[in-house]
Amino acid sequence: MPQPVELIIKNADQLLTLATATPDNPLGIITQGSVAIGRDQVVWVGAEANLAKEVLVTESTRVLDAQGKVVIPGLIDAHTHLIFAGSRADEFDLRNIGISYQEIMGRGGGILATVAATRKASKEELYRLGVRRLNRALRWGTTTLEVKSGYGLSLEHELKMLDVIKELSAHHPVDLIPTFLGAHAIPEEYKGQREKYIQLICQEMIPSIAERKLAIFCDVFCEKGAFTYDETEQILRTGIKYGLKAKVHADEFSNSGGAILAADLGAVSADHLLSAPAEALAAMRLRGVAAVLLPGTSFVLGLKRYGPARSILAQGLTLALATDFNPGSCFTQSLPLIMSIACTQMHMTVAEAVLACTSGSAKALALPDKYGKLAPGSPADLLILDITDYRFLAYQMGENPVETVIKEGRIVIENRHLV
């Protein structure tokens, strides 16, 4: 029976549902496809030819014509460090002429430089910076993103960051999913007393953040120079005890056991994974841990190595691609650019890259099954792209094909402009 709808996008050259995959049509593409939206949800998806029969268009229904265009679900960025003050443009030059990221960290640069700037910044300043960055993300088609704390590294400043994330999520169209990353680095004032800092995380920060419901996830940077396997386990077990789901910055520069630990703990995702051994991927698969790859970071750091995308896909793990947006190792907010890097450097097809920025990243954020897809019941988060073939998303490297963005049924970018 026809149902009345508020918004229709009709007649797309390609409508990527990502919901009805077959081997011949892995993206569930409907040609001359239409999608009907009621309130904040998709209520109908199908071929243009069936639209009139199955959907009741009223006088108040707004209709957007997507002829010559591609429609896809809104992109989901599963790993960002969106909130920070200051910049690290100086380090960009230093690193490019041969000084390593670890060496810069060792000199008190790197993360700790951003911690100093972020501690100095007021909530209002961080909020203002956040809005600018979310506007930019939205222009690139990102409608949901994960954001980590971790530039506060004290109870006061971690809470400040997480408060700002909460405020932004409440007031900006983009949905923010908060992750507590107190274990991002050992702050200056705990140098030589790492046990004390870990105590602070476990005994004060996690209980306080859990009580205020300021985070969904707890994450640890498990890496030589950051946190050990044992420290990571202690922190994540505490987080889990307090109801936070686990994520791990795992095996980025060296095999530190992070991916194996993610599997042991039943974490939602393990991220980076450049140095993860095959048995860790197998363990992740058994426990349903999603793999989040961040190829922009390999690229910016000038590494020749990238995450093992082909092994991950061959083994049937859930794969997400994310920006890792941060002021040190990857200052980009463009998931289309990340797709280009993933395709050319990790040998992914554009179809695989699109899945990894939508339904794959939805799983890496433990979102319900209908997220990152266009099916009845999906959130009405979708993009109209000014291209006739979805492959241009990654093929036309660096360009922004996003013309219109719909978030929860509301047009928030139209013809490239914020509305």
Query: Does the footprint of its own copies cover residue 64 (CB under 8 A)?
Result: no
Q: Which of 32, 47, 349, 410 binds its own copies (CB under 8 A)?
A: 349
Min dist CB 215 to its own copies, Å, is 28
Q: Partners of 382 in the beta sheet?
A: 73, 406
Q: Which of 90, 103, 125, 189 binds its own copies (CB under 8 A)?
A: 90
In the complex with its own copies, the residue whose CB is nearer, 186 or 348, is: 348
Site for its own copies in 104-143 (CB under 8 A): 136
Residues 18 and 28: beta-carbon distance below 8 Å: yes
Query: Does the footprint of its own copies cover residue 391 (CB under 8 A)?
Result: yes
The pair of structure tokens assigned to 328 is 């040190």
Query: Does the footprint of its own copies cover residue 98 (CB under 8 A)?
Result: yes
Q: Which stretch binds its own copies (CB under 8 A): 94-102, 227-235, 244-252, 361-369?
A: 94-102
Q: Which of 23, 156, 304, 415 binds its own copies (CB under 8 A)?
A: 304
Query: Does the footprint of its own copies cover residue 53 (CB under 8 A)?
Result: no
Q: What angle do CA 147, 339, 300 make, to 5 degrees?
A: 70
Helix or strand or coil: residue 253? coil
Query: Does the footprint of its own copies cover residue 398 (CB under 8 A)?
Result: yes
Residue with tokens 């433990």: 366
Query: Does the footprint of its own copies cover residue 92 (CB under 8 A)?
Result: yes
Query: Does the footprint of its own copies cover residue 344 (CB under 8 A)?
Result: yes
Query: Does the footprint of its own copies cover residue 345 (CB under 8 A)?
Result: yes
Query: Does the footprint of its own copies cover residue 332 (CB under 8 A)?
Result: yes
Query: Does the footprint of its own copies cover residue 299 (CB under 8 A)?
Result: yes
Residue with tokens 């985070």: 215
The pair of structure tokens assigned to 304 is 């020749």
Q: Which stretch binds its own copies (CB under 8 A): 101-109, 144-152, 362-370, 397-405?
A: 397-405
In the complex with its own copies, the residue whose CB is nearer, 154 or 323, is: 323
Query: What type of residue sits at position 97?
Result: I
Query: Does the footprint of its own copies cover residue 93 (CB under 8 A)?
Result: yes
* Alpha helix segments (H runs only) across 212-251: 229-241
Min dist CB 394 to its own copies, Å, is 7
Query: Does the footprint of its own copies cover residue 89 (CB under 8 A)?
Result: yes
Q: Which stretch binds its own copies (CB under 8 A): 203-211, 236-244, 314-322, 386-394?
A: 386-394
Neighbours of 347 (CB within 10 A): 12
Query: Does the footprint of its own copies cover residue 296 (CB under 8 A)?
Result: yes
In the complex with its own copies, the residue whose CB is nearer, 59 or 93, is: 93
Q: Which of 1, 49, 97, 170 binds its own copies (CB under 8 A)?
A: 97
Min dist CB 340 to its own copies, Å, is 8
Helix or strand or coil: residue 129? helix
Q: Partners of 390 in the beta sheet?
A: none
* Strand (E) or helix (H) holding 96: helix 89-96
In the complex with its own copies, the residue whose CB is nearer, 90 or 230, is: 90
Tell how many helices (H) and how many strands (E) occur in the chain: 17, 19
Between CA 214 and CA 166 the distance in angstroms is 7
Residue with tokens 């029969």: 53
Q: Which of 301, 366, 375, 411 binds its own copies (CB under 8 A)?
A: 301
Helix axes 258-265, 229-241, angle to 10 degrees: 20
Q: What is the largest CA-CA distance in the chain?
A: 70
Query: Does the footprint of its own copies cover residue 24 (CB under 8 A)?
Result: no
Between CA 30 and CA 14 the distance in angstroms is 6
Question: By C-alpha distance, which of 194, 119, 116, 193 is closest to 155?
Answer: 119
Residues 343 and 350: beta-carbon distance below 8 Å: yes
Min dist CB 88 to its own copies, Å, is 8
Min dist CB 218 to its own copies, Å, is 29
Helix or strand or coil: residue 370? coil
Query: Does the footprint of its own copies cover residue 87 (CB under 8 A)?
Result: yes
Residue with tokens 């039943």: 266
Is residue 211 classed exposed, middle or buried when 0-12, 13-18 and 19+ CB atoms within 10 A define those classes?
Answer: exposed
Q: Which of 235, 270, 343, 413 binds its own copies (CB under 8 A)?
A: 343
**What residues make contact with its own copies under the rule CB under 8 A?**
87, 89-90, 92-93, 96-98, 136, 296, 299-302, 304, 330-334, 337, 340, 343-345, 347-351, 389, 391-392, 394-399
